[in-house]
Amino acid sequence: MEQYNGRSVNGGIASAPIKIYRKEEVRIRREHVADTDAEIGRLELAIIELSDEFRRLADRAGENVGEDDAELFNAYIMILRDEIFIGTVKETIKNERINAEFAVMRVAQGIAEMFSAMEEEYMRSRAADMEDVADRLTRVLIGESSRPFAIDEPCILVAEDLSPAETVTLDKHLIQGIVTVKGSVTSHTAILARMMDIPAMVGVPLDLRSIKSGQMAVLDGFNGVFITNPDFETLVKTKNRMEELARESEELLSYRDLESITTDGKSISLLANVASTRDLDAVEKSGADGIGLFRSEFLYLEGRSFPDEEKQYRAYRKVLETMGDKPVVIRTMDIGADKQPDYFGVEAEENPALGFRAIRICLKKPEIFKVQLRAILRASVYGNAKILYPMVTCTWELEWIERVLKETVEELEKEGVPYKIPLQGIMIETPAAAVTADLLAEKTGFFSIGTNDLVQYTMALDRQNGMLDDFYRPKETAIKRMIEFTVKSAHENGILCGVCGELAADISMTRFFIDIGMDALSVSPGFILKLKKHIRSL
Ligand code: PEP
Ligand code: MG
């Protein structure tokens, strides 16, 4: 039994076999083959195997995840049946007498390049599908699992580090906990673990070569302790503690339909932070008053190409229809810094957190921004939507946003497409915005304070840098003053103000938020009932 200490990013206890996550790349070499018929036979078998797997994944996606994924796997099956693709691969094997995996890769690359050069966004996104199918097919051919990383049973995921894009594509329902060697407590990976409501730790000094997938482990997210090869006594203690926690969660459900109000009659809305339509069940269970932050950028991080207007429209509409009359705050994509989709092609920056991110990308690339605005405006017909713009620093940006929105509305009008313009607000997450909140409040519909970035920029503290976790002090006077001034400015201008950064879930801050008149706290769905219980005791 070995014990490791690290920093907790989410409480909870897990006991499960380890699954080690490694970034792997398949290397394919060109090889000469003597028997090309046998090679084509090998290709055909691999196609059958992969088609069966796509069919299983499509069925499972239809049941558990969402129609989008089911559609994707059905489209993948069509690619495997495509005469041009498969026919050309077979011809290449025959004519050049080369191995199937090399032929698949080369033909797919050619087709993907052709798609990428096309005008229509739809065709361009087919390039990524082609590459994904080819990647999986070559993996089957060389005898690996078709997926770069597949989770087939409950596990504690252990990794050197995880990017938000990697975390969001993991098979969440089987992951019982996350442990990383690197990472910081306010990174988006940590935030995703909180949204998944599973115990998680970062900064665990593990040598990944000394442990193996399948080895038993115990994770105590409350105390930041990770144990590999636990002895019998530890396993029994863990099991008892897990049963106790399950009873506590059950008990918390009795708060679901109660008001979020203090004993002296002050109420505050409790909203949920989500990253995907997959989080909606957890929101429902939590009895949230609405969605206070839909981090739409995860739609961009999940896929291998830009989510087109239809895909985004369907996601927003689904969230809005599920929430009924309750408000849903859709934040426009906050891409950049640690949230980088590979296909975006943003050049490496010296200081990405201070760089080309969020609203700056949207304003400089209106063709991308407009696709999202169109999807949100169209979906807004189906519920109580609000739009939230991230990383705003001054009123001048609001004027620019207004112009892009106006053009988008004109286009929808011209096409006769039904739409609704929702109330628009801004994140207060830069010191510039916080200290000019009085001016910004005159020009916008609501405020949502993003304490994660507000702390990073105010305290000059990179939120990605785990070495600085001890310096991460979100309750310092500098931050409290900014929060207080922001709420006061909002109310003087008759608009609402909430907090959607991680500080909203810190129960030692709840009294402060209520005393200064904060209107809403938006937290991970798994935290809502705990927070409500606390508020009702104040
Ligand atoms: C924040 O900065 O506090 C916030 C809510 O946004 P994100 O964590 O996604 O940057
Ligand atoms: Mg932020």
Domain boundaries along the sequence of the chain = 2-20+151-250, 36-141, 256-535
Question: Going along 244-314, which residue ranges are E strands?
Answer: 269-274, 291-295
pLDDT the model gives residue 368: 93
| Contact between 336 and 355 (Cβ < 8 Å) | yes
Tell how far the Cα of 408 is from the centroid of ligand 1, in angstroms.
Answer: 26
- Report which protein residue has its CA nearest ligand 1's atom 1: 450
The arithmetic mean of pLDDT across residues 258-263, rounded, is 97
Nearest ligand to the C-alpha atom of residue 524: 1
pLDDT the model gives residue 189: 81
- What torsion do the CA atoms of 120, 123, 125, 131 make, to the nearest 10 degrees? -150
Q: Which of 334, 338, 462 to mutate to test the pocket of ligand 1 (most atoms within 8 A of CB)?
A: 334
- For ligand 1, is residue 334 a contact (CB within 6 Å)? yes
> Of all residues in the chain, what percent carry a pLDDT higher than 90?
74
Tell how far the Cα of 354 is from the centroid of ligand 2, in angstroms.
Answer: 12
- For ligand 1, is residue 197 a contact (CB within 6 Å)? no
Active site residues: 188, 500
Q: Which of 300, 427, 499, 509 to mutate to test the pocket of ligand 1 (most atoms within 8 A of CB)?
A: 427
Nearest ligand to the C-alpha atom of residue 338: 1
Residue 67 clears pLDDT 60, i.e. is over it: no
- For ligand 1, is residue 510 a contact (CB within 6 Å)? no
Q: Which of 298, 453, 455, 527 to mutate to test the pocket of ligand 1 (most atoms within 8 A of CB)?
A: 453
Q: Which helix (H) or strand (E) holds 202?
A: strand 200-202
Tell how far the Cα of 391 is from the centroid of ligand 2, in angstroms.
Answer: 7
- For ligand 1, is residue 297 a contact (CB within 6 Å)? no
- For ligand 1, is residue 177 a contact (CB within 6 Å)? no
Tell how far the Cα of 453 is from the centroid of ligand 1, in angstroms.
Answer: 6
Tell how far the Cα of 452 is from the centroid of ligand 1, in angstroms.
Answer: 5
Give the ligand 1 atom nearest the CA of 453: 2
**CB-count exposure of residue 215 (10 Å: 0-12, 13-18, 19+):** middle
- For ligand 1, is residue 451 a contact (CB within 6 Å)? yes
Residue 148 clears pLDDT 70, i.e. is over it: no
The arithmetic mean of pLDDT across residues 77-83, rounded, is 93
Give the ligand 1 atom nearest the CA of 448: 5
The arithmetic mean of pLDDT across residues 491-505, rounded, is 97
pLDDT the model gives residue 346: 75
- For ligand 1, is residue 500 a contact (CB within 6 Å)? yes
Tell how far the Cα of 469 is from the centroid of ligand 1, in angstroms.
Answer: 16
Instruction: Name the strands in the sheet holding 175-180, side by side, starting at the edge strand that comes first in the sequence.
Output: 2-5, 225-228, 216-220, 13-21, 155-159, 175-180, 200-202, 7-10
The arithmetic mean of pLDDT across residues 142-164, rounded, is 83
Tell how far the Cα of 510 is from the centroid of ligand 1, in angstroms.
Answer: 18
Residues 327, 505: Cα–Cα separation, whole Å? 20
pLDDT the model gives residue 127: 80
| Contact between 72 and 102 (Cβ < 8 Å) | no
Give the ligand 1 atom nearest the CA of 293: 5
Residue 268's alpha-carbon distances to 84, 277, 451, 510, 515, in angstroms, are 60, 25, 18, 10, 11
Give the ligand 1 atom nearest the CA of 450: 3
- Does the domain at 256-535 match CATH 3.20.20.60? Answer given as yes
Q: Which of 429, 464, 509, 522 to mutate to test the pocket of ligand 1 (most atoms within 8 A of CB)?
A: 429
pLDDT the model gives residue 210: 87
CATH number of 2-20+151-250: 3.50.30.10
Q: What is the pTM of this model?
A: 0.84
Residue 216 clears pLDDT 60, i.e. is over it: yes
| Contact between 388 and 426 (Cβ < 8 Å) | yes
Longest Cα–Cα distance of the chain, Å, equals: 84
| Contact between 311 and 276 (Cβ < 8 Å) | no
Tell how far the Cα of 130 is from the centroid of ligand 1, in angstroms.
Answer: 34
Residues 276, 297: Cα–Cα separation, whole Å? 9
Give the ligand 1 atom nearest the CA of 502: 3
pLDDT the model gives residue 139: 86
With cut-offs at 50, 70 and 90, classify the pLDDT of residue 65: very low
Least confident among 35-39, 151-155, 474-478: 151-155
Which carries the bigger pLDDT value, residue 433 or residue 71? 433
36-141 adopts what CATH topology?
A: Enzyme I; Chain A, domain 2 (1.10.274)
The arithmetic mean of pLDDT across residues 307-325, rounded, is 95
Residue 438 clears pLDDT 70, i.e. is over it: yes
| Contact between 163 and 182 (Cβ < 8 Å) | no
- Report which protein residue has its CA nearest ligand 1's atom 6: 450
